[in-house]
A = this chain, B = another copy of it.
Amino acid sequence: MAGHPGTGFAETDETSPYGIEMGVRYPKLSVDEALDAAQAGMKAWRDAGIDARTGVCLEALARLNARSFELAHAVQHTTGQAFMMAFQAGGTHAQDRGLEAVAYAYREMTATPAVARWEKPQGKNPPLVMDKHFKVVPRGVAAMIGVSTFPTWNGYPGLFASLVTGNPVIVKPHPATVLPLAITVEVVREVLAEAGFDPNLAVLLTDTSADPVAKDLCLRPAVKVIDFTGSNAFGEWLERNAHQAQVYTEKAGVNAVVVDDFADVKGMGRNLAFALSLYAGQMCTTPQNIFVPKDGIAVGDERMSFDEVAQVLAGAVDKFLSDPERAVNVLGAIQAPATAERVEAARDLGRILLDSRAIGHPEFPDARIRTPLMLAVDAAETDVYREERFGPISFVVACADIDDALAKWRETVAENGAITAGLYADRRETQAKAEEVAQEVGVALSVNLTGGVYVNQTAAFSDFHATGANPAANAALVDSAFVANRFRVVEVRYPAEAEAGQAAA
């Protein structure tokens, strides 16, 4: 990257879940070097104003869009996503979310006028007249801490929201997933430089899992905004320790689907088969727990037992993945060896409905690919299902009845958070109860999805991702709360006479 601070090349943990040699090298720099470089251009970036910053961000997004195929390959070979998904979620949809963040931030920044004349009547005397200037100022340096699975999709909202509001951004990718964010930083730097700004307003800072830098970076007094997607442990540590910064976190959760009487069980099976298979359950939005009444459900005029419902679901997944070529293009590869190990270890946690298999990839012989593991458990076995078991692992949980199913869903989300929830229910009464739970525990709810919309997918400008209202995340992508605290407004006021003198000076 032209002119990027640092000396030589950094070590990372970057390897491809598809088994190819990555061999990409990145600049090596210290936290101090990153902070010094990032801050140098901050004043000029602030003074450029809202429109200029917005223009730079839009141009960067347009150029990232033009590099979507390259980004798709980069996302595929770091995260393990299949190519089509890497193109969509890692490319265009990530750009959508970045654009959404710029749009929300623009709305909030421009809600206060740049200049306003204020007059206060004084009875018989002339009015008091003041000219008031409102200047949008940045908070300071922003740190964007990337995640291994969705570096661009989860990263762009914070990156662009911080940048457009005037904050330099230090991008610290997950050590295993550097390339997509490195390309991103390169593009942003290129546009910054062309527009006459310091390219170091966007800096890449890599590390390794053996020698991490995020804690050091995130406690520096100059760092005033932090975006993080990843583990509960680090997210909570940030929330409790990085007092000098605004901290936005997305952590783990236990997403659930609740099944009540529902006529189109086949449609449910098809829909959930895709939802459970997509990227082998490595989405923060993938359902983990499927709560079903133990006495079964009504399917139109017939009864279907719990075991039959479980078999419909497991059978649908099995059938969906029966063609290996289609399977690998949906499942992608397992990003981390630990996730593959977790699947192995999970086999003993319940009665196996569908076993996980390793399957081969026609193009990448060393790809780490696993099909979903589905287990049946009883609602009493809360230790098994109440925490997140990241990866292609799901539980069909036998509950006393539909109210118990709703209660178990509520308890797990209140305790450990969730980003998505699904409901299959023909009865309006159950839908209403589920809507109430969704509002109480603050989780987005998708009802009766049987077609081409899936519980684990959201669209920018139309769906919020997470709510910020349960332990899985303290913010939503993207709402006003996500952008409004990234800048401040400083007012400077002059009596109108003096102002006239000032303008003439």
B-contacting residues of A (Cβ < 8 Å)?
46, 107-108, 111-112, 116, 118, 120, 122, 128, 130, 132, 134-135, 137, 139, 239-240, 243, 428, 431, 435, 438-439, 442-453, 459, 462-464, 467-469, 476, 479-481, 484-485, 488-495, 498, 502, 505
| Known contacts A134-B464, A453-B493; 13 further A-B pairs (Cβ under 8 A) | A116-B462, A118-B462, A122-B452, A139-B469, A435-B492, A444-B493, A447-B498, A448-B498, A453-B495, A463-B493, A464-B491, A468-B485, A485-B485
Asked if residues A444 and B116 are in contact (CB atoms below 8 Å), the reply is no
A452 to B462, CA, bound (A): 49
A132 to B449, CA, bound (A): 13
A306 to B111, CA, bound (A): 43
A285 to B216, CA, bound (A): 36
A501 to B439, CA, bound (A): 22
Asked if residues A446 and B489 are in contact (CB atoms below 8 Å), the reply is no
Asked if residues B447 and A480 are in contact (CB atoms below 8 Å), the reply is no
CB A95 to nearest CB in B, in angstroms, measures: 17
A132 to B494, CA, bound (A): 47
A459 to B134, CA, bound (A): 14
Asked if residues B484 and A480 are in contact (CB atoms below 8 Å), the reply is yes
A495-B450 CB under 8 A given contacts A108-B480, A462-B118, A480-B484: yes
Asked if residues B442 and A488 are in contact (CB atoms below 8 Å), the reply is yes
A46 to B447, CA, bound (A): 22
Which residues of the other chain, B, contact A46 by a CB distance below 8 angstroms? 439
Asked if residues A462 and B132 are in contact (CB atoms below 8 Å), the reply is yes
A505-B447 CB under 8 A given contacts A442-B137, A484-B480: no
Q: Is the interface of A mostly helix, strand, loop or mixed?
A: mixed
Which residues of the other chain, B, contact A243 by a CB distance below 8 angstroms? 239-240
Q: Which of B445, B447, B450 contacts A490 (CB 8 A)?
A: B445
Interface centre among A116, A122, A488, A502 (most CB of B within 10 A): A488
Which residues of the other chain, B, contact A464 by a CB distance below 8 angstroms? 134, 489, 491
Q: Which of B112, B462, B476, B492 contacts A447 (CB 8 A)?
A: B492
| 28 pairs from A and B in contact (CB 8 Å cutoff) | A112-B479, A116-B462, A120-B453, A120-B459, A132-B462, A134-B464, A135-B435, A137-B439, A137-B469, A139-B469, A428-B502, A431-B502, A438-B490, A442-B488, A444-B490, A444-B492, A444-B493, A445-B490, A446-B492, A447-B493, A447-B498, A448-B494, A449-B495, A453-B495, A463-B493, A464-B489, A469-B490, A485-B485
User: Nearest 4 pairs between A and B by C-beta?
Assistant: A428-B505, A469-B488, A481-B484, A480-B484
**Closest partner residue, chain B, to A133 (CB atom):** B435
Q: Which of B107, B451, B485, B495 contacts A481 (CB 8 A)?
A: B485
Asked if residues B479 and A128 are in contact (CB atoms below 8 Å), the reply is no
Which residues of the other chain, B, contact A448 by a CB distance below 8 angstroms? 494-495, 498
Which residues of the other chain, B, contact A122 by a CB distance below 8 angstroms? 452
A488-B467 CB under 8 A given contacts A108-B480, A453-B128, A479-B112: yes
Q: Which of B453, B481, B489, B498 contacts A467 (CB 8 A)?
A: B489
A490 to B463, CA, bound (A): 10
Which residues of the other chain, B, contact A489 by a CB distance below 8 angstroms? 464, 467, 476, 479
Q: Which of B446, B485, B498, B502 contacts A493 (CB 8 A)?
A: B446
**Closest partner residue, chain B, to A486 (CB atom):** B481
Interface centre among A120, A135, A444, A489 (most CB of B within 10 A): A489
Which residues of the other chain, B, contact A107 by a CB distance below 8 angstroms? 111
Asked if residues B495 and A451 are in contact (CB atoms below 8 Å), the reply is yes
CB A244 to nearest CB in B, in angstroms, measures: 10
Which residues of the other chain, B, contact A505 by a CB distance below 8 angstroms? 428
A208 to B240, CA, bound (A): 30
A493 to B442, CA, bound (A): 14
**Closest partner residue, chain B, to A134 (CB atom):** B464
Asked if residues B479 and A484 are in contact (CB atoms below 8 Å), the reply is yes
CB A259 to nearest CB in B, in angstroms, measures: 15
CB A2 to nearest CB in B, in angstroms, measures: 30
**Closest partner residue, chain B, to A467 (CB atom):** B488
Asked if residues B111 and A480 are in contact (CB atoms below 8 Å), the reply is yes
Q: Which of B431, B442, B444, B484 contacts A484 (CB 8 A)?
A: B484
**Closest partner residue, chain B, to A480 (CB atom):** B484
Asked if residues B480 and A445 are in contact (CB atoms below 8 Å), the reply is no
A445 to B490, CA, bound (A): 8
A303 to B77, CA, bound (A): 73
CB A110 to nearest CB in B, in angstroms, measures: 11
**Closest partner residue, chain B, to A505 (CB atom):** B428
Which residues of the other chain, B, contact A468 by a CB distance below 8 angstroms? 485, 488
**Closest partner residue, chain B, to A485 (CB atom):** B481
A446 to B132, CA, bound (A): 9
A111 to B453, CA, bound (A): 25
